[in-house]
Amino acid sequence: ALKDREEYTETILSTIHSGLYVMNEKGETTLINKALTEILGYDDNDLIGKSAHEKFHLHHLDQFSCPLFKVIAKNKEYSGSEIFKAKDGRLVYVNVTSKPLVYKGEKSAVVTFTDITPLKEKEDDLTRYNYLLSIIFENSPDAIMLVSEGKIININDNMIKEFCVPVDLLAESID
């Protein structure tokens, strides 16, 4: 019955798309799921009995100051965005949640995470494109007025100079 229960639990863990690991009060990894291996490239041999924090969590805090670990002592959930390092050296941006768990008197933390690297890359691209567009907008020799839904949302310096458009027209309706 115990063996069946372990297989059942392992099957459930293998169906979860989010990476998952459990760490004990010493910060040692006691369990990982298949998604963690797929996302980060680490397997049981790399992590079980070792500190996941030291293996792949990138930030300036030591393990015991890490918010993912501190949930054990504080008994309070943590959620946020973090950076993990995959086994091959890639940076993986993640949304992560760490929840305290007490089982048979032993405290631990269950950490789940989702890879948001593609979203972060698109966000960074959008930030770069917006920066480039703002440079073009401000340095264009043409007078430019941006209008959205009948409201002026921005005007460049040449529009102000050439047409004497007052800046206080921003957010005004142009109907």
User: Per residue of the chain (175 residues), what is the pLDDT tens digit?
Assistant: 888 888 888 888 888 899 999 999 999 999 999 999 999 999 999 999 999 999 999 888 888 899 999 999 999 999 999 999 999 999 999 999 999 999 999 999 999 999 999 999 999 999 999 999 999 999 999 999 888 898 888 888 888 888 877 767 665 555 5
Location of structure tokens 């041999």: 45
How is residue 63 written in tokens? 């393990």
Task: State if pTM tops 0.75.
Answer: yes
Longest dimension (CA), the chain: 83
How is residue 39 written in tokens? 């996302």
Location of structure tokens 């959930």: 77
